[in-house]
Structure 1
Amino acid sequence: MSSDPEYHAPVNPIPPVVLALFLVIIVVEAAFSLGARGMLGGPEAVGWRNNAIQSYGFNTDVMDWMLANGVYPREHLIRFVSYGFVHGTFTHALFAGAMLLALGKFVGDVFNQFATLALFLISLAAGAVVYGLLAGGTPWLVGAFPGVYGLIGGFTYLMWLKLGQMGAQQYRAFTLIGFLLVIQLIFGLLFGSNGDWLADIGGFVAGFLASFVLSPGGFAKLREKMRHQ
C-alpha cells in the first residue's frame, strides 16, 4: 500500500534531524539512569551524571572567567551547546525530549534540516549567554529546554506570518509562549526558581529572530529588504 503514489501516511514522519537530536538526549539519559542503578558501567557509573554536568554543563562562573581573562578555550566554548544534551533527572530529559519532538516536527516540516538544527543550537547558545549574563551565582544550567524554546520561537514566527497573511491580529502568535511563561511563573512561586527561565526566554527570542533568516527564503527576503533600504 505504501508503494501507491497516491498513498499518504496518516501521520507525517518526524524530521530526521529532530529524531537524531531526540535520540542523543535519550541515549545519554539512558546511560546515566542505567549507570546510577548499577546496570551499566560498573561502580564508577554512579557518578556519570555529575561528571557530565561538571564537564559539559554551563555555569555562570565559566562565562565570568572567560570574559575576565579574555580567554575562550574550546572545552569551555562547547559548553554553550553541550549543556543541552545533559539533564538533571530522567523526568527532566523525558519532558524536554517530548517537547523537542512536538515542536521540532512542526518547525522541521517547514524549515530544512540544516535550518532546524541551526535554530536549535543557536537557541541553546543564546540561552546560555543570557543565563551567564543575568543569572549570577546560580546552579549549573543543563537541559534542552532553551533549545526547545528556540523551536517555540520558530513556531511563533510561522504563526506570526500565517496570521499576517490572513489579516488577523499577529500578537496571537505569542499565545503559546505567554502561556508557558505563566506556568513557569506559577511553578517558580510555588517551588522556587534557579534562574533557568532566563535561558528559556533567551532561547525563545533567539529562535524567533533567527527564523527571519533560517525560514525558507528568509535570507533572500532579508537581503532584498536591505538592498531597498
Structure 2
Amino acid sequence: MRCDDSSPFNVIPPAVVALSVLIAGLEVMFQLAAAGILGGQDGVGWRIAALTDYAVRDDVWEWMLANRNFRPDELLRFVAYPLLHGGFVHAAFVVVFLLALGKLVAEAFSSAAFLAIFWISALVGALAFVTILDSRPALVGGYPGVYGLIGAFSFIQWVGLRGTGGSQFRAFQLIAILLAIQLLFATLYGQYGDIVADLGGFVTGFLLSFLLSPGGWHRFLVKIRRR
C-alpha cells in the first residue's frame, strides 16, 4: 500500500498558485502588522498607507485629467490595487475564487492567458470605475480581475453549450446571480462603484477569451483577412 503524499497545489497551474500566494501573503503581512508582530508601532498603519498609495481613487483620476499629468506612480494604482484588500475576509474570498476559476481558465487556455485576463480585466474595471461613476470610496481588491475570470469561465461554458445545442444563456447564470447579490447590497448602502468595476472586468474577460482561447487569435486573423 503506497501513501499518496502529493500536494494539492500540484494540480493547480503555478501561475495561479503564485498569484494566490502573493495576495494571501500580503494580507497575512498586514494582519501580523496590525497585531503588532511586524513593524512595531509603525506596522499598524501599513495597510492604510498601502491603500492610500495604491487604491484607485476617483479624485486622483480627475486630478490627472484636469492637469494632464499622468504620473507613473499614480498610474501604478491601476495594476497594483488588485493585490491589496480591505481585510482578511475580502482577501480570502478573492483567493478562493482565484484558485477555483484560475485553475479552470489556465488549464483551458494557458497560464499566460490566465494572467492576461486577470490583470487586463482589473485594469478595464478600474477605468470603468473612475470614468462612469463619481464614486467617493476607493476601489481596492481583486474582484474586477476575478470577474474577468468569471467572464472567461462563462465563455468556456458558452462554447460548450453551443457545441451541444444547449441554451447558451445558461453560461451566464453565475454572473447573473453574483450581480443580483451585489446590486442588492449596493442598493442598501448606496455604493455602485464596485458593481461597475466588476461588470467591466466580466465583459473584458469574456471578450478577451475570443482572442486568448486556443486558436482564438488564428480565428481572429482569418476573419480580418476575409474582410
TM-score, normalised with respect to structure 1: 0.92
Cα distance per residue 1:45-65 (max 9 Å; x no partner)? 000000000111110112212
After superposition, residues 1-229 of structure 1 pair within 5 angstroms as: 13-193=11-191, 195-229=193-227
Measured after TM superposition, the shift of residue 186 of structure 1 is: 2.1
Deviation string, structure 1 residues 123-153 (Cα, Å, up to 9, x no partner) = 0100100000122142111000000000000
Q: CA RMSD for the aligned pairs? A: 1.9
Runs of 4+ with deviation above 6 angstroms = 9-12
For 2:12 and 2:185, how far apart are their aligned partners in 1? 31
Counterparts of 1:161 and 1:224 in 2: how far apart (Å)? 19
Task: Structure 2: give runs of 5+ residues left out of the alignment.
Answer: none
In structure 1, what is the Cα distance between the partners aligned to 2:221 and 2:10?
33
Structure 1's 137 and 172: CA in aligned 2 closer, same or farther, altered over 3 A? closer
Q: Report how far residue 108 of structure 1 moved.
A: 1.0
- Quick check: 1:138–1:194 contact (8 Å CA) kept in 2? no
Q: How big is the shift at 1:155?
A: 0.3
Partner SS state of residue 109, structure 1: helix
Whether contact under 8 Å (1:139, 1:194) holds in the other structure is no
**2:135–2:193 CA contact under 8 A, matched in 1:** no
How many residues are paired up?
223
TM-score, scaled to structure 2: 0.93
Higher alpha-carbon deviation: 62-71 or 153-162 = 62-71
Question: Does 192-201 or 26-35 show the bigger shift?
Answer: 192-201
Tell me how far apart the structure 2 counterparts of residues 110 and 228 of structure 1 sit (CA, whole Å).
28
Paired-residue identity, %? 48
Pick which of 161-170 and 26-35 moved more: 161-170
Q: Which runs of 5+ in 1 are unaligned?
A: 3-8
- CA deviation map 1:71-101 (0-9, x unaligned): 2221111111100001011110011111111
Opposite residue 70 of structure 1, the aligned amino acid is R
